[in-house]
Structure 1
C-alpha cells in the first residue's frame, strides 16, 4: 500500500488574511497556493459642480465644498488654461475650465474644488490617482505639467509648480536631481516640500486639484508642439 504524503497550509495564507475557525487545511503535493493581491489604494477625488450659469458675463455656480454661490467674471477665465479663483466663503480653490468662456465642450465640463492632501502623502495620492492613470494610458501624461494638476498651500494659498509636485519623491532619502528644476523658486519649493511643509508658512496641507483634460486643451498642446517642429 502506497503512502500518500501530505503537507499543511494555513488557511490564513491561502485566503489573504481571512482567518477561519479551520486553522489548517490539507493540500496534495504540487497544489498551487493563491498569491495575495496587493491592496488597492482608494484615492478620494475632487468635488465638482456642473451647475454653472452664465449671467451677463458672470459665471454663477455653487462651491462644491460649502455650497455658497460664487461669481467669477467670464473675462477672467483664460480660454484654454481656465482660472483658479478662491471661494468667497470657505477659501477653497477652484479650477474653472476655459470652455466656460468659449462655450467649447460645455456639456462635459466641471468646476473642480481643491482637495486637502497632506504634503507627506502627496506622492501616494498622485501616483495612485485614477485620472493620472487614465492620462498615462491615453498617452497624455506630457500635458500634465501644463494643464491638469494644481497645488496650493491650504493656509497661505501659495501655488506650487506642477513640475515640482509631479517629481516630489516619496521620502527624504530619495535623491532628487535639482538640475531638472527650472528656477530657484522651484528648488526652494522642492526642498521645503520634501520636509513636508510650505516654504512660506510651514503649513503641512495642500489643496490639490487633478482634473480631466478637455479635448481643446489637447489640441492646443499638439498645435504648440507642431510649431516647434516647423522649419
Structure 2
C-alpha cells in the first residue's frame, strides 16, 4: 500500500501528540517527523521529501502562513494542511492556496475527510515513487544563521569533536545537525562516498587519488585547501570500484 510521508508542525507538544494519535489511525500515512517551530520545519522540509505537512498557524518567531510563503518557491512543495484553533484563519489558508485546514479541537471525522482528499489528489497526480528520498538539500548553520545548501554544491562532510561540518565551494564551513551515520544513510551513493569514519566526500570533487601505505589511498579534494582525506583500508576496495582503479 502506498503511504504518504507526513510532517507535523506545532509549537505545543500536546497538540502534536493529539495529531499524531489521529494520523496513526490510518495505515496509509507515515509520520516521518515532527517540528516545534517553523524554522525547524523549514530545515526538515528542505532536507527530506514530505508529501503533506500538518501545520499550526500561530507559532512564535515565524507563523505557519509565513512559512508557506517561503515554501511556495520550492519546485515540489508538500501539500499544506493548516491546523488551527481560530476559524477566521480559513481565509488566510485560502489566500496561500493551502490544501485544507483542520480546526482544534480535532475531530476524527474531519481528519478522515482530509486524508481521503489527499489520497484522491495524489491518485490524480501520481503517488510518490519512493526513488527520491535522498537528501536534495542539507541545511548548515554559521554564527546563528541557517543556510540551505544544494547537495551538488557540497564538497565533503567531516566530523570534528562533537560537530559535523560541511564544506562548500565558496564560503566558510557550516555546521549541520546530522551525524555522519545519518548522512551516509540519506545521501545518494552514486554521488557520495564515505572513505573514512570521519568523512563523506562528493566524488565529483575528488581531484587526485594517491596510493598510501598498506594498500590505502589518500583523496585530494577540489576545495580551497586541497584537503587530503584518508581512505581506510576497509574502504579502499570500494574506492577502486567507484573510480575504476
Task: Decide which structure has greater helix share.
Answer: 2
Structure 1 length normalisation: TM-score?
0.27
Task: Looking at secondary structure, tell me which structure has more strand per residue.
Answer: 2
TM-score, normalised with respect to structure 2: 0.26
If you compute each CA radius of gyration, which structure gives the higher value, 1 or 2? Answer: 1
